[in-house]
Each structure stands twice: as C-alpha cells, then as structure tokens.
Structure 1
C-alpha cells in the first residue's frame, strides 16, 4: 500500500507522545465521553487535514453522533454535515444541530460527488454491511475529494468494545457473559450493533474497489514508524487496534 501524500492543511505528527496521549484518553470513553471524544476529534482534524484542505470544504461525517467532531471540524473551517442512524446519538450533547441527517450509512441520502471530504470514525464495525457503507462513502465524494474511513479492528484489544477481552472467545459468548455479569445487554451487541471487521477485510476492499485511489493505509493511533504492522498477517490483526484507509476519489 502507498505511503501518505499530504496536501495543504493542518499538520499532523504521528509521534509516540501523541500515541501515548490517545491511549490514555481511551480510559475515559465510558466514564467521561466528552473528554475522550474531544481529544479524538481534535486529533482527527489534524490527521484528515494532512491529506486535504478543510477550510471551505463540505465534509460529511458518516455516523457523526454527538457534536464533538462538529465543533472540531467547523473550527478548521469546514462546512460539517453529520449523518447517523440513531436520533439518540445525534442528540447526545443535548441538541440536534443544523446540517444533521438521519439515515443509513449503507444507503447515504446524498447525490454522487456531493461532498469534498467523506469521513467516518469507528462506525464501520457497527453496520452489518460495512463495505456497502465504504462504497457509498466513495460514491458521494467528488472527483479529487478525500475519503477517510477508520474502524476498531475486531481482533485488537478493544475489538469487543465493552465486552473486551472476552470477544477473543467469540462475540456471542462475550455478549452472553456481559449480560450475565451486568444484568443487561451491552450497548454494542454482537450480531446486531457490533460486527467482526478485520484488517484483512479492509485491505481486500481497498484492493478491489475501483472508485478511489488508495492514498494511505495505516494504524490510526500508532506512531509513524509502526506502519509496518499493516503488512504482517496475524500480527496486524492484534496490534493495529484501529485501521485507517484514505482514498482520493477518481
């Protein structure tokens, strides 16, 4: 897979210090989501901005959820449009903002080539047809525009989300164990709102899709020198944590 070809925009330094900071913030996803998602959104703007100019760009966030990413991308000058399938997620910060759309990532309610940047963070593993969603993201991006897809890798330490690390014994077993332990279903229910999406799945899609030129494939939270992980079968499934695929729309 090719190395990155950054364009004018915010700088992004994938240093070890940045990685340590992000991994520390993961501890707060459940007890303090505002802290976690604000840190992730700030980092995402810098990362996406290293591939495309965000100022005056129309950016679609597929699975945008609450407004943490909105504030960050609008702060960089983008016109931010959010799509989510869950009204509760969209209203997570207390209000539903303008330019918010309720719909499915697998059938995006937008015309061909209608956005400059199509972005999705940690959503692909929550849809039953992840590569249909990825194809849709490419479709709605204008020629020359950027597609940025990131997801939590199933065999990584956090692949089972709140059921981890028991997902290594199987998603359904991990879900059943959580139900027995906590007396309720997990938020991310394997087979319904959580699915096993691997690094190999993503690399296969990147090779076979025809709508975009692959610009970059990398472990999202790792320092730059850990890019080699995506090229090592088996090892990449456990150590990547989160994979990013970046494409330039043909």
Structure 2
C-alpha cells in the first residue's frame, strides 16, 4: 500500500460516526466501563494498525491498566506486554498474564526491544512527561512506532472529573469537587493529574533527534477536524485529546521485536541512550 493509500484508509476510518460513537461511550465510562474501554481499545488498535502492521509485532503498553487493550492487541496478532504501576488494575478486564508492574519514567525494558510503544491517556498523569517520552523512545527499536495520546490541560476534559472547573484553577476545582462529593477526586491536581500541553509535547519532538513525526492530530475527531492542531492556542482547547504518532529514527534491523524485561537495562541501572539534538519536521 502506498503512502497516499494509507492516508486515504485513515480518512475512511476517522468518520463523524466513529467520533459520535466514542463520545456516547464516554458518557457511560463510570457506569459501564466495559463498554467504553472495550470500544476504545478496539478503536485504538485499528488506529495503530493504520501506521504499522501488528501481526507478530511486540507492543509495549505504558499504563496498560485493567487489560482491555491487551485483549484487543492480542486479537490483532501482536505480542502484547502491558505495564502499570498499580498491579491491582491488571485483572480488572481479564488475565494479568503478560503484565508488568513499573513506572513509565523508568521502564524495566531493554533498550530498542519493542516494535510499538503505545500509551493511551497516561501522559497527563505523570509528573515528568518528558522523561516518560524519553523512555518510550529508548525502548523502541529503530524504525519502530511510538503512539502517544493524552488529554491537554486546557481541553474541556482537562480536569477530568473536576472539569470544567479546572479552567478556574486546578486546586479550586479539586476543593469544589470535595465539597460536593464528600471525597477527593481520583485525579488530584499536581498529585495524579498534571497540566500537560500540546505545545510541550511538540517542543519535545522538535528537540529530540531520535524521533520523527508521522502524525499529530486530535485523536477522536473526524478527519476533517484535524486542522485544529495547526492553530496554536486553539488546539489546546479544541483538540480534546491529542495524539502523536512517531517513528524511532534509524534503520530497522531484521526480524521482529521481542521485549526483554527485568534485565537491568532500565535507566536506573544502565543509563539511557542519548535523546538530544536535531529538529523534527512538523
């Protein structure tokens, strides 16, 4: 398939009907998580497959959570490894087999050992988002794909369950939630939820010579809504959820990846490869 055919296929996938279905599912996230996360996982796998084949490829899911994505990626023929700091989440949607406990900012995975490094709506929950991006680039083999999405702070859902009051300040929104609900929110400002911006993410790509941008788009929008990402300021609000699709620089070696874990090759033990310099064409 040519590059033009691939773009056309992605357009056929990113329809208004798809966007409406995802939004309707999002409305029942709390009451029917199986429906929402199952639909999101299937949608995400189909989206990733628009950029790279998945059959036989090793996929590392940073922030894999309860396992919905595990089922979807394995059904697509991928070798799936999920990572999450909360081991209790692993079994919520099935078996915990193939899941790792660890931090996204110090991945216990060998350098250059996965074909696809995937992360869905995790970056805004990390206090050092650039370090997590560095780690995702480190563990991806040359020619491999990084697929990273997150909710920008200025998005209508930027405050998560405290939205839209986060526009008046994260601390104020948190206090309001506690008064109304009698308990703190799960996503606590500057504890488990951090103000990440699209501009920050793009700045990281421009300063990182080890990645090249394949796509930057509003993840859930129909294809004709992609223009919003090209408008600084407006994109922080109008994108709702932002997606970066990156390729790890360098020629891809022969053979498919197989993740190596628990090898002591994490940054804490062996240091990380240099990820500085250069500019990314936008």
**Shorter-chain TM-score range:** over 0.9
Q: CA deviation at 1:11?
A: 9.2
**SS state at 1:28 partner:** coil
Residue 69 of structure 2 is aligned to residue 69 of structure 1: yes
Residue 159 of structure 2 is aligned to residue 160 of structure 1: yes
Distance 1:151 1:12, change over 3 A: farther
Per the alignment, residue 79 of structure 2 pairs with 79
**SS state at 1:221 partner:** coil
Moved over 6 A (4+): 9-12
Q: CA deviation at 1:92?
A: 2.4
Per the alignment, residue 129 of structure 1 pairs with 128
Equivalent residues in 2 for 1:32-43, closer than 5 Å: 32-43=32-43
Per the alignment, residue 230 of structure 1 pairs with 229
TM-score by length of 2: 0.83
Determine which structure has more spread, i.e. the larger CA radius of gyration: 2
Deviations 1:33-59 (A, max 9, x none): 111100100100110000011000000
CA distance in 2, matches of 1:248, 1:80: 19
Q: CA RMSD in A?
A: 1.9
Deviations 1:33-86 (A, max 9, x none): 111100100100110000011000000000000111111000000010000011
CA distance in 1, matches of 2:124, 2:149: 9
Residue 190 of structure 2 is aligned to residue 179 of structure 1: no
Per the alignment, residue 201 of structure 2 pairs with 202
Contact 2:59 2:115 in 1 (8 A): yes
CA distance in 1, matches of 2:53, 2:11: 11
Contact 2:11 2:223 in 1 (8 A): no
Deviations 1:138-185 (A, max 9, x none): 110011110000001111111111111111111111111111111111
Distance 1:128 1:139, change over 3 A: same
Contact 1:147 1:247 in 2 (8 A): yes
CA distance in 2, matches of 1:5, 1:146: 19
Distance 1:122 1:155, change over 3 A: same
Task: Structure 2 unaligned segments of length 5 or more: list them.
Answer: 250-282
Per the alignment, residue 58 of structure 1 pairs with 58
CA distance in 2, matches of 1:208, 1:4: 28
Per the alignment, residue 188 of structure 1 pairs with 187
Contact 1:213 1:247 in 2 (8 A): yes
Per the alignment, residue 213 of structure 2 pairs with 214
**SS state at 1:119 partner:** strand
Task: Structure 1 unaligned segments of length 5 or more: list them.
Answer: none
CA distance in 2, matches of 1:60, 1:54: 12
Contact 2:16 2:221 in 1 (8 A): yes
CA distance in 2, matches of 1:209, 1:149: 15
